[in-house]
Amino acid sequence: MNNYIYKCTNCNRECNAEGIEGNFVYLCPSCGKAEKNKPLEGVFIIEYDYEELRKKIKREDFLKLPAGKFWLYPWLFPLDEKKLNFNVLKRLALSEDQYLEYDYNKSKIFLMDETRNPTFSYKDRASGLVALKALELGITEIAAASTGNAGSSLAGISARLGLTSHIFVPKNIPDAKRIQIQSFGANIYIVDGDYDNAFDLCLEISEKKKWYNRNTAYNPLTIEGKKSAAFDIFISTQGKMPDNIFIPVGDGVIISGIYKGLTELLELGWIEKLPKLIAVQAKGSDAIVRYVKSNSFIYESASTIADSISAGAPRNLYMAAKAVKQTNGIAVAVSDNEILNAQKDIANYFGILSEPSSASVFAAYKNLIKEEKIKAGDKNLLLITGNGLKDISALEIWNDKPLAKDYNEWTRLLLK
């Protein structure tokens, strides 16, 4: 068993893993609160014995590992190595070649392509770790509230591992995402209400049913699973880390996870400084941008075409804001129109179909270059977190059907 503790990010209370994991405890017992339309309070972070880890593994050996398989270094995760079934883990593997380099406007630009993950989004990093923990604890049923991708991810990963999943969704879920969840054989519960209602209902039901809960930020393993991208970047670049990492931000869990992973790399002495984290939000859903500026949270209902980062009350707001500040990063919002243009650019220049949420990072990149807040000559990494095929309604906006023409008309037009 690995040596790790749960530590509250608010009151610093430390808890042993046994007391937390076996008892379906997720937030800090002292100060934890999950209230409607507010960020979560008392979110746990997991801490390891880094001194021990430094002795256990050397940087040069770690760099020989393949990217995309976090279970190959289980001692950096809350996992019992002896209980891992390596036969089934292959089904959760990400591509080893997701770190891509392109030329763009006379500079290099780097993309982290998460659109080819097992269920085609970054969420698989969290779902994978949560599902492995469920297997370790002998729990066969997992629940989550979701606006789409997290639910589809948990449903697909559960199918791959033979687990049963329960997904609570708001009634305005896009049809395409609902269909993915159902296709994977998940039990779906459509709540006549919004994401907050689905979130609360999922907490209540899963507590009473003793289902393991994967609600984002609420289960600390969602943050912990999402940190794995930091290690994949470290491996893919062979330690030559980016200067800036652009991250789409809704609930703030991905940026928190990446920040956590990066601080661990620093703690282990494997990198010398933290890359700047650029938190990218949509203008219609910018609570974290506002919080970074003003240090205060005011709930505003969210509205943006980028549904995967639409969150009026980001669950992991405090940790996300800390990630930006501690890395001297930037929090920035882009318009829906800029997002659609960026979605087109990413498909045209890089051959990747991205979700609007993911496209936001390219929109922000272009703006910040223009405003000279970052340099094109920097090593800029853009995180493409979700696949555009998951819901093609945004692609439809900028791809009208051209008129059909007959054989003769085409030959006349094309050969004139």
Which residues are near a second copy by CB under 8 A? 66, 87, 90-91, 93, 95-97, 100-101, 116-120, 156-161, 171, 175-176, 178-180, 182-185, 188-193, 197, 200-201, 204-205, 208-209, 344, 347-351, 353, 387-390, 392, 395-396, 399, 401-407, 410-411, 414-415
User: From the CB of 229, what's the least distance to a second copy, in Å?
Assistant: 17
Sign of the Cα torsion 402, 405, 407, 413 reads negative
Q: Quick one: 52 or 96, whose CB is closer to a second copy?
A: 96
Q: Quick one: 13 or 344, whose CB is closer to a second copy?
A: 344
Q: Quick one: 182 or 335, whose CB is closer to a second copy?
A: 182
User: From the CB of 177, what's the least distance to a second copy, in Å?
Assistant: 10
Phi–psi pair at 101, nearest 5 degrees: -115, 130
User: From the CB of 349, what's the least distance to a second copy, in Å?
Assistant: 7
Q: What's the burial of 190, exposed, middle or buried (CB within 10 Å: 0-12/13-18/19+)?
A: middle
Q: Are 300 and 282 in contact (CB under 8 A)?
A: no
CA 52, CA 225: separation in Å to the nearest integer? 21
Q: Are strands 330-334 and 141-145 parallel, antiparallel or unpaired?
A: unpaired
CA 295, CA 288: separation in Å to the nearest integer? 9
Q: Quick one: 162 or 269, whose CB is closer to a second copy?
A: 162
User: From the CB of 231, what's the least distance to a second copy, in Å?
Assistant: 17
Q: Give the residue among 216, 213, 273, 268 at the shortest CA–CA distance from 76.
A: 268
- Three-state DSSP state, 193: coil
Q: Quick one: 191 or 254, whose CB is closer to a second copy?
A: 191
Q: How many beta carbons lie within 10 A of that of residue 269, not counting itself?
A: 10
Identity (one letter) of the amino acid at 314? P
Q: Are strands 44-48 and 4-8 parallel, antiparallel or unpaired?
A: antiparallel
Q: Quick one: 160 or 226, whose CB is closer to a second copy?
A: 160
- Three-state DSSP state, 248: strand
Q: Quick one: 117 or 147, whose CB is closer to a second copy?
A: 117
**Where do runs of H (alpha helix) occur along 22-73?**
50-56, 59-62
User: From the CB of 214, what's the least distance to a second copy, in Å?
Assistant: 16
Q: Report the length, in residues, of the chain.
A: 416
User: From the CB of 117, what's the least distance to a second copy, in Å?
Assistant: 8
Q: Quick one: 203 or 255, whose CB is closer to a second copy?
A: 203
Structure tokens at 66: 């393949």
User: From the CB of 400, what's the least distance to a second copy, in Å?
Assistant: 9
